[in-house]
Amino acid sequence: MDRIASVSIPVSGPAPTGTTNAYVIGRSDALLVDPAGESDDLERALDRRSPTAVLATHTHPDHVGALARYAREYDLDVYTRSGYEKRFERATGVKPDANVRDGDVLPAGDFDVEATSTPGHAPDHVALTIGGVDATPRSEVRNGRVLVGDLAVAEGSVFVGPPDGDMRGYLTALRRLHARGPAELLPGHGPAIDDPRAVLRRLIAHRLDRERTVLAAVRNGHETPEVVVETAYEKDLSGVRDLARRAVIAHLEKLAVEGSIEWDGERARPVANC
Ligand SMILES: [Zn+2]
């Protein structure tokens, strides 16, 4: 039996691949992560690993759809990111038993699981580094396998934009993870990532490229996200125009905080004398 079970669960709604990966960490006293929906495969994995706790990488519906059901059915301790207990309860209908802070370590069978705060895609987002005696020595916990939720994907990119997104936080989280040099990334959607640093560099470069295009558009006199999006994206936007517009807003917010533009929530303007 694998010590980490990955179960792909079909989800409705705007999940990038139409499925979400739930994970069960540990061969006994396991930790359930991201129970996206009800699934026979997930129940089989849980039945063999006597889970004791559940945690979500973040509380978007495509990561917590069956959290309430499995928490009840397996009598799990329910953890949430510290400071987001109310948000968690709204999203899941479950009152959390305990919370985790950045750097906290949870037991998960043979493993230790360290939570790292990684806001950007969602404010309550955490990444989970799997370490411990049977995995990698405790001292190497930072170089282990990392459950990254919606922080990274093998192909394409994840959505970062309002109301939950924060582009500065997202880039910081990507860089922080890159600096740790993890061995493997286990994402919320799509296949495992066995070349983490290359993928993280690609994701960072993608955002910085887009930021340059957005900044250039503003400097050329384009003021609203609706107009900026038309010049910043070359590809056909039909069907994704609203997502693209919101991603542009996340870039505008970041550029404004950094003093590169002025942005009042509706119109962007270049900063004078720059
Ligand atoms: Zn999400």
Digit-coded pLDDT (tens) for 224-244: 999 999 988 877 888 888 999
Q: Which pLDDT value is given to residue 140? A: 46
Tell me which H or E stretch contains 48.
helix 40-49
How far, in Å, is the centroid of ligand 1 from the Cα of 165?
A: 10
CA-to-CA distance for 63 and 104, rounded, in angstroms?
Answer: 21
How far, in Å, is the centroid of ligand 1 from the Cα of 61?
A: 8
Q: Which pLDDT value is given to residue 236? A: 80
CA-to-CA distance for 86 and 93, rounded, in angstroms?
Answer: 10
Q: What is the pLDDT of residues 43-70, one digit of tens each?
A: 999 999 999 999 999 999 999 999 999 9
What residue type is assigned to position 185 of the chain? L
How far, in Å, is the centroid of ligand 1 from the Cα of 161?
A: 11
How far, in Å, is the centroid of ligand 1 from the Cα of 16?
A: 9
Q: Which pLDDT value is given to residue 110? A: 83
3-state secondary structure of 26: coil
Q: Which pLDDT value is given to residue 233? A: 84
CA distances from 56 to 24, 33, 59, 202 (A): 12, 5, 6, 25
How far, in Å, is the centroid of ligand 1 from the Cα of 269?
A: 31
How far, in Å, is the centroid of ligand 1 from the Cα of 219?
A: 32
Q: What is the pLDDT of residues 89-134, one digit of tens each?
A: 999 999 999 999 999 999 998 899 999 999 999 999 999 999 854 4
How far, in Å, is the centroid of ligand 1 from the Cα of 201?
A: 21
Q: How open is the CA angle 137-28-180, to the nearest 5 degrees?
A: 30
B/e letters for 148-160, b = 16+ CB within 10 Å, e = fewer, are bbbbbbbeeebbb
How far, in Å, is the centroid of ligand 1 from the Cα of 137?
A: 31
How far, in Å, is the centroid of ligand 1 from the Cα of 111?
A: 25
How far, in Å, is the centroid of ligand 1 from the Cα of 227?
A: 26
pLDDT at 141 over 60: no
How far, in Å, is the centroid of ligand 1 from the Cα of 60?
A: 5
Query: What is the chain's alpha carbon radius of gyration, rounded to the nearest angstrom?
Result: 19
How far, in Å, is the centroid of ligand 1 from the Cα of 176?
A: 19
Contact 158, 174 (CB under 8 A): no
Please state the domain extents for the chain: 4-194, 204-270
Contact 258, 250 (CB under 8 A): no
Q: Which pLDDT value is given to residue 60? A: 96
3-state secondary structure of 45: helix
How far, in Å, is the centroid of ligand 1 from the Cα of 58?
A: 7
CATH class of 4-194: alpha beta
Determine the average pLDDT of the residues in 23-47. 97
How far, in Å, is the centroid of ligand 1 from the Cα of 220?
A: 33
29: left (phi over 0), alpha (psi -120 to 50) or beta: left
CATH class of 204-270: mainly alpha
Other Cβ atoms less than 10 A from the Cβ of 184: the count is: 14
pLDDT over 70, % of the chain: 94
Contact 63, 80 (CB under 8 A): no
Q: What is the pLDDT of residues 202-212, one digit of tens each?
A: 999 999 999 99
Q: Tell me if the pTM is above 0.85.
A: yes
Q: Which pLDDT value is given to residue 132? A: 58
Contact 151, 58 (CB under 8 A): no
How far, in Å, is the centroid of ligand 1 from the Cα of 83?
A: 18
Determine the average pLDDT of the residues in 131-147. 62
Q: What is the mean pLDDT of the chain?
A: 92
